[in-house]
Amino acid sequence: MSNWTSLWYVWLLLLTVFLLLLCGITASCIRFCCRKKRPPVETFSRHTCDLTAIAIDSDSTAHSTVT
């Protein structure tokens, strides 16, 4: 069996994975703390929408064209 200290690439891989996990946890904590401190921001502005309805009776030419 080989000596674990001579396998430098295994330690490098473990260190890389550990640093990535540490960065992810730190970023999540920072985002969570910043989200709690500032008031929630609306992602879209609320606009009133106008809806126009066109009535079509059965005798109109538009109805006979559609059907």
Higher pLDDT, 66 or 29: 29
Q: Does pTM top 0.75 for this prediction?
A: no
Per-residue pLDDT band at 6 (split at 50, 70, 90): confident
The overall longest dimension of the chain from CA atoms, in Å, is 93
Is residue 67 assigned to a domain? no
Is residue 64 assigned to a domain? no
Is residue 62 assigned to a domain? no
Is residue 66 assigned to a domain? no
Residue range 23-33, pLDDT digits in tens:
999 999 998 88
Give helix then strand counts, H and E, for the chain: 2, 0
Residue range 29-55, pLDDT digits in tens:
998 888 766 666 666 666 667 777 777
pLDDT of residue 15: 96
Is residue 61 assigned to a domain? no
Count of domains forming the chain: 1
pLDDT of residue 53: 73
Domain that holds residue 50: 1-55
